[in-house]
Amino acid sequence: MESIFIREKYLQKVKPFIGKNIIKVLTGQRRVGKTTILKQIVDLVDQQDKEANTIYINKELNEFKHLKDHEDLYQYVKSRLSDNETNYVFVDEIQEIKEFEIALRQLFAEGVDLYCTGSNAKMLSGDLATHLSGRYIEFHINSLSYSEFMKFHKLQNNTETLNKYIRYGGLPYLVHLPFDDEIVYGYLSSIYDTIILKDIVARYNIRDIEFLERLVEYLSDNLGSYVSSKKISDFLKAQRLSLSVNTVMSYLKYLTNSYYINKVQRMDIIGKKRFEINDKYFFSDLGLKHSIIPFTGSQIGNIFENLVYNHLINNDYKVYIGKHQDREIDFVAQKGNETKYIQVAYQLPDEKVREREFGNLLKIKDNYEKIVVSADEFAEDYKGIKHMHINQFLVDEN
């Protein structure tokens, strides 16, 4: 059933590297569709190489429980390699195998074409980088974009559809469930529990689970706000907790490593300097956020920022919060030689608000594209600055 829904964008990214001497690594939060995409890559391999010897391992299935470490993995694969055909090995959720990178290095040296998925960013920053630097390429998988959400659920681009996307998010499996709060949030809560307990608590030996969950609630309540050591310290005092600020910052790192949240740094637009303090955090999937902290209309402006941020990274932009003199630009999006400046607001009800949102962009004296995104019914350009309705922006693939 799931194979019907092809995520062509990701397959086209991987396709040029099939059969090439480099390890293909698919990363992303749990349940964003990595397994399905991996299976679709298997199908592509079978189409391109009729003599392919494919070996598929899914560490979430009981039949592969015995593969606990790199030696188990290597011996399992080694016993199934063919001397007369090209060998393709696919390992799903490879971070569940201890020191897996040692086995990958050996199999890579033996000419095996390797593909794997993982749900933890540490896999790339530490495990793989140490042993396989320069020998792998990452393809980050996100939950469904707004355009994909409409395609999967066969919906039209309108306010009602956008509200569903905001409330329930873009995890692909939702296509099999009715849009009912109790059913959808029951499913999403189970995914949240898996991320918290398996990808964070178990992996990093966290003892204070209650505080970790409070921290998630804090990030949800302060969506789109700056998070600094001082704010964290004030939060701890309000909670009457004795955890150090450094410990809390580590917890934030664990949440980003699991791809549950994304950290966005600040950048000085003139000097291109990046600031190491006062980051913002956005949720990778709003449905998961709302399964824990229910959606309220009071956060709609911040929700729009989260939507715009997710859309930009879905389109392969590197995204920063812009600082220009004493003004803030919501997003600076960069891809290759391209840069976009974007301001986000729920609505622009009067000239004062219009002047603020457009004025911040008018102060930037370069020729890069500048956009204001809002939900105003009539989005009119202003002094050369493009004004886009949120629904229009979210289907723009540029």
According to the 3-state scheme, what is the secondary structure of 14-32? HHHHCCCCCEEEEECCCCC
Whole-number Å distance between alpha carbons of 89 and 10: 19
Q: CB within 8 A of 133, min separation 6: which ones?
A: none
Helix axis angle, 209-221 to 245-257, nearest 10°: 80
Q: Which of 308, 280, 285 is nearest to 295 (CA)?
A: 285
Backbone angles phi, psi at 19, to 5 degrees: 80, 0
Please report whether residue 155 resides in a domain. Answer: yes
pLDDT, tens only, 310-350:
999 999 999 999 988 878 999 999 999 999 999 999 999 88
- The verdict on 213 and 285 lying in the same domain is yes
Tokens in use for 347? 């609505």
Would 398 be classed as within a structural domain? no
97 three-state secondary structure: coil
Question: What is the Cα 295 distance to its own chain's centre?
Answer: 20
Confirm whether 153 is domain-assigned.
Answer: yes
pLDDT band (50, 70, 90) for residue 239 = confident
Is 61 within a domain? yes
Tell whether 38 is covered by a domain: yes
Q: Report phi then psi at 140, rounded to 5.
A: -85, 130
Give the Cα-Cα-Cα angle 121, 122, 124 (nearest 5 degrees). Answer: 75
Based on the fold, state whether residues 238 and 353 are members of the same structural domain.
Answer: yes
The kind and range of the H/E element at 190 are helix 181-194
Predicted pLDDT of residue 184: 98
Q: Are residues 95 and 69 in the same domain?
A: yes
In DSSP terms, which residues pair with 164 in a beta bridge? none
DSSP state of 385: B
186-195: long-range pairs with CB below 8 Å, 24+: 188/287, 188/288, 188/290, 188/291, 189/291, 189/292, 191/30, 191/31, 191/288, 191/291, 192/288, 192/291, 192/292, 194/30, 195/29, 195/30, 195/258, 195/260, 195/288
On whether residue 192 sits in a domain, the answer given is yes
pTM greater than 0.85 (yes/no): yes
| 32 plus 64 within the same structural domain | yes
Whole-number pLDDT of residue 2: 44
Over residues 50-59, mean pLDDT = 96
What is the CATH number for 113?
3.40.50.300
Asked if residue 169 and residue 96 are part of one domain, the reply reads no
- Domain end point (choices 105, 140, 175): 140
- Cβ proximity of 87 and 53 under 8 Å: yes
Judge if 270 and 341 occupy the same domain: yes
Q: What is the mean pLDDT of the chain?
A: 92
d(CA 89, CA 185): 35
Judge whether 329 lies within some domain: yes
Establish if 364 belongs to a structural domain.
yes
pLDDT at 325: 80
Bridge-based pairing state of the strands 261-268 and 136-140 = unpaired
Mean pLDDT check: name the lowest of 48-57, 162-171, 272-281.
272-281
What is the reported pLDDT for 126?
67
The answer to whether residue 152 scores a pLDDT higher than 90 is: yes
- The answer on 62 and 19 residing in a single domain is yes
Number of structural domains found in the chain:
2
Across 162-176, b (16+ Cβ under 10 Å) vs e yields: bebbbbbbbbbebbe
Task: Decide if pLDDT at 18 tops 60.
Answer: yes
Of 125, 140, 155, the domain-final residue: 140
For residue 231, name the pLDDT band (cuts at 50, 70, 90): confident
137 forms bridges with which residues in the sheet? 24
| Alpha carbon distance 398, 396 (integer Å) | 6
Claim to verify: residue 300 and residue 334 sit in the same structural domain: yes
Mean pLDDT, rounded, for 50-66: 95
> What is the pLDDT, as a whole number, of residue 277?
67
User: Does residue 246 share a domain with residue 373?
Assistant: yes
Q: Are both 219 and 317 inside the same structural domain?
A: yes
* 205 CB-contact burial (10 Å; exposed 0-12 / middle 13-18 / buried 19+): exposed
Q: What are the start-end ranges of the E strands in 46-86?
A: 53-58
**pLDDT-above-70 percentage for the chain:** 96
Q: Give the pLDDT confidence of 90-143 residue by residue, as tens digits.
A: 999 999 999 999 999 999 999 999 999 999 888 776 667 777 878 899 999 999
Report the alpha-carbon distance of residue 316 to residue 346 in Å, rounded. 24
pLDDT reading at 260 higher than 90? yes
Please give the Cα distance from 160 to 142 (Å, whole number): 23
Q: How far is CA 132 from CA 117, 211, 278, 385, in A?
A: 15, 36, 33, 45
Query: 114, 140, 166: which is the final residue of a domain?
Result: 140
234 and 102 belong to one structural domain: no
Domain that holds residue 166: 146-393
Q: Which residues contact 367 (CB under 8 A, 6 or more apart)?
A: none
Find the helix or strand (DSSP H, E) in which 276 lies.
Answer: strand 274-283
Same domain, 104 and 69: yes
pLDDT on residue 275:
63
pLDDT of residue 20: 95
* pLDDT at position 172 over 50: yes
